[in-house]
Amino acid sequence: MTAYLTVARDADAEIDVKRSRFLCTLRRVEEEAAARAVVEALRKEHWDARHHCSAFVLGPPPNPVERSSDDGEPAGTAGAPMLEVLRGRGLSDVAAVVTRWFGGTLLGTGGLARAYGDAVRAAADAAGTVRRELVREHSLLLDHADAGRVESELRSRGVTVLGATYGAEVELRLAVPPEGEAALAGQLAELTGGTAESTVIGERWVDSLEP
């Protein structure tokens, strides 16, 4: 797996069902500690609410970390339907928290499940999505005389330049999808007359390199 989706931005959405308020807070997070911190911050902010139910999906497929909590609602009526929405949208690196203020009318298990799921759907619609891609980070060493020209040419050809370090030589750090490495090698051979080759120094997940 070399790509997955996450939320493009943080978002909030509120729905009302029979005078009960369901506020979904959707946040992009990459660690479980950060996801749990979102829940605790909302408990303090909305201290007057009865429930703060949550669902997290963290990390790339095929084995992301998944957690959910009903926070006092009947078992299976809150966290599980919230988690199903995140799974259905194919989202990861996301924490969803639905804060509920009771409106005085019991909704039943089916009504609760629909309400919690609908709140997450509304927030996910507002958040939008961004594609995360696995890239290989390459190091390219160049003479100072060539570095500016080569960097400019690479950028114009759509190669992502993460940064440059200047010393005895100039080191360019490039982000390249695995399937783009052969093309990069050809471009470097052309631009440097075959005198420079890049070296893979690591891998990481980044937001889509597509414009």
**Region for residue 202 given its phi and psi (left: phi exceeds 0; alpha: psi -120 to 50; beta: otherwise):** left
Q: Tell me, what's the pLDDT at 209?
A: 62
Q: Tell me, what's the pLDDT at 210?
A: 61
Q: Tell me, what's the pLDDT at 206?
A: 87
Contact 12, 123 (CB under 8 A): yes
Walk me through the domains of the chain, giving residue ranges and CATH numbers.
3-127 (3.30.230.30), 133-207 (3.30.70.240)
Contact 93, 27 (CB under 8 A): no
User: Splitting the chain (211 residues) into consecutive groups of 10 residues, what average pLDDT does each group show?
Assistant: 92 96 97 96 96 97 94 96 97 98 94 98 97 93 94 92 93 91 94 92 83 48
Contact 33, 23 (CB under 8 A): no
Handedness of CA 10, 131, 133, 210 (dihedral sign): negative
Burial classification of residue 10, based on how many CB atoms lie within 10 Å of its CB (0-12 exposed, 13-18 middle, 19 or more buried) = middle
Q: Tell me, what's the pLDDT at 1?
A: 73
